[in-house]
Amino acid sequence: MHYYSHHISDYMSHTGHLNPMEDLAYRRCLDIYYLHEKPLPEDASMVARKIRMPDNVPEVKIVLEEFFTHDVGKGWVNPRGDKEIKKYRDKIAASSRGGYSAALVNRKSTASTLTPTNNHKPITNNHKPINKTLKRPRNVSKKTWDDFLVHRKNKKAPLTETALKGIKNEVKKTSISLEDALVMCQARGWQSFKSDWVVDKQKSFATTSYGEGEQDI
C-alpha cells in the first residue's frame, strides 16, 4: 500500500502516553507495515534499523509489545493494519474484475455489431472491388472505344464514369465529336481531354489525319 487512513483523534487517544521517540517509532513502524503489507521482523533491533532508528531499540521494543502481536515464526503483526490491508486488496481485486468484465462486455458488443445479417454479406480479405464496365457511348465506334480504354489503362488511369463525364463536358465546348476527341487523345498521348487544348481549325482532325495516324499505330 502506498497510503493508509490516519484518524487523528483515534491515534492521539491511543498514543497520548508515548514519549516523542516512542511516537516516532510507532508511526514509522506503521509506515513500513503498510508499505510492505507483511509482518515486521521478530528482532526488535532489525525493526529499529528498518525504520532508521538503530539507536532507539528500547523505544521500538516498547511499541512492538504494545501495539503489535508477536506471531512466532512470522514476526510482529498489527491486527488493525491487517484489516486495512485486506480491505485495500479486496478493493484492488474488485476493480480488476470490474475492468475485465467491462472489457468482456465491450468485446461482445463489438462482436455483435460485426455479426453479418441477412441483408449484409461479411467482408473478407479475399473480396476485390467490383469493376463496373462502362457502357460505350452511342456516338463512339467500338474500335475507338476499346482502343481508348486500353490507352487509359496504359496510362495507369482506368476510365471511370466521372472521368468520361468530364471529357463529354469538355467536348461540348468544342465543334468536334466525342469520337474525334478520343482519337485525338490517343494520337497525342493525352490522358484526358480539355477544350482549350483544341482550336477551331483542328475540328477536322479526325477526318483528315485520323486515317494517317491509324497507320502509324
One domain for residues 12 and 107 = yes
Residue 124 forms part of a structural domain:
no
One domain for residues 11 and 104 = yes
Q: Which domain holds residue 204?
A: 142-212
One domain for residues 108 and 146 = no
Residue 126 forms part of a structural domain:
no
pTM here? 0.44
One domain for residues 150 and 91 = no
Residue 129 forms part of a structural domain:
no
Residue 106 forms part of a structural domain:
yes
One domain for residues 108 and 1 = yes
One domain for residues 31 and 94 = yes
pLDDT digits (tens, 9 = 90+) for 13-61: 999 999 999 999 999 999 999 999 999 999 999 999 999 999 999 999 9
Residue 132 forms part of a structural domain:
no
One domain for residues 156 and 201 = yes
One domain for residues 106 and 2 = yes
The proportion of the chain whose per-residue pLDDT surpasses 90, expressed as a percent, equals: 48
Residue 185 forms part of a structural domain:
yes
Task: Give me the DSSP letters along the chain.
Answer: -------HHHHHHHHTTS-HHHHHHHHHHHHHHHHHTSPBPSSHHHHHHHTT-TT-HHHHHHHHHHHSEEETTTEEE-HHHHHHHHHHHHHHHHHHHHHHHHHHHHHHHHHHHTS--TT-PPP-TT-----PPPPPPTTS-HHHHHHHHHHHHHTT----HHHHHHHHHHHTTSSS-HHHHHHHHHHHT-SS--GGG--GGGTTHHHHTHHHHHHH-
**Count of CB atoms situated within 10 Å of the CB of 140:** 18
One domain for residues 202 and 101 = no
What is the total count of domains within the chain? 2
One domain for residues 146 and 103 = no
Residue 158 forms part of a structural domain:
yes
**What pLDDT band is residue 132 in, cutting at 50, 70 and 90?**
low
